[in-house]
Amino acid sequence: MSTPAAIEVRPSAQLPRRFAALFYDLWPVLALWMLVSALFTIGYTLAGHATRENIHPFSALQWLLWLCCWLLAGVYATMSWKRGGQTLGMRPWHLHLRSLSGQPITRAALWKRYAVGTLSLLCGGLGFWWALIDRDRLTWHDRLSGTRLVKLPKPV
């Protein structure tokens, strides 16, 4: 188990690694989104709509689909972080999520991290770019959730 002092010694993950890990995580998340979209489409068809009719853009059903996709991606991320401190995309880039205090990270903090990270991406990645000027190289979602993404040493 690492001590809080050991956490501070490790460097924060730099932006190219963060973005690369996000790109890697896009693929399993897209697969989950396709699965939930297929279920929505099957349900829509079984509800009596024509087989070639799509869910109408910006309808309540489409907003519900988007919400389900966002929540499913959040479950993927928060469960991965809680279980091992890494998502699939973070593993090849040797990134690990730690708390700033050295204590175990709560589920509430992980969901806060996910929600603020989403907001950051919707703002053109502004919360990520913030790490370039932050004294501790933390992003918005790092700061607000009390977490830090660190680069692990390469295994020998």
One-letter identity of residue 145: S
What is the predicted pLDDT for the residue at 57? Answer: 86
What is the predicted pLDDT for the residue at 9? Answer: 43
Q: Shortest CA distance to 76 belongs to which of 22, 9, 17, 11?
A: 22
What is the predicted pLDDT for the residue at 54? Answer: 78
Conformational region of residue 124, where left means phi above 0, alpha means psi within -120 to 50, and beta covers everything else: left
Binned average pLDDT, 10 residues per bin, the chain of 156 residues: 45 84 97 95 81 80 95 98 96 94 95 97 94 92 95 84
Cα-flanking dihedrals φ and ψ of residue 20, to 5°? -65, -45
What is the predicted pLDDT for the residue at 50? Answer: 65
What is the predicted pLDDT for the residue at 86? Answer: 96
Model pTM score: 0.86
